[in-house]
Amino acid sequence: MKTHGPRMNRERTREVLDKLVITAVKSNSRGIEIHRTAGTKDSAWLERWRLYTGGGIVGNSDQVWLSPIMRAHGHAPRGPYWNKGQLEKALRAWRRGA
Q: Is there a domain that residue 94 lies in?
A: no
Let me know if residue 68 belongs to a domain: yes
Q: How many domains does the chain have?
A: 1
Q: Is residue 4 part of a domain?
A: no
The predicted pLDDT at position 49 comes to: 93
Q: Which residues of 59-94 are buried (b: 16+ CB within 10 A; e: fewer)?
A: ebebbbbbebeeeeeeeeebbbbebbebbbebbeeb
pLDDT score at 53: 86
> Is residue 41 situated within a structural domain?
yes
Q: Which domain holds residue 44?
A: 10-89
Task: Kindly report which listed range (16-25, 73-82, 84-93) carries the lowest average pLDDT score.
Answer: 73-82
Q: Tell whether 95 is covered by a domain.
A: no
Domain assignment present for 5:
no
Return the sign of the alpha-carbon dihedral for residues 80, 83, 87, 89: negative
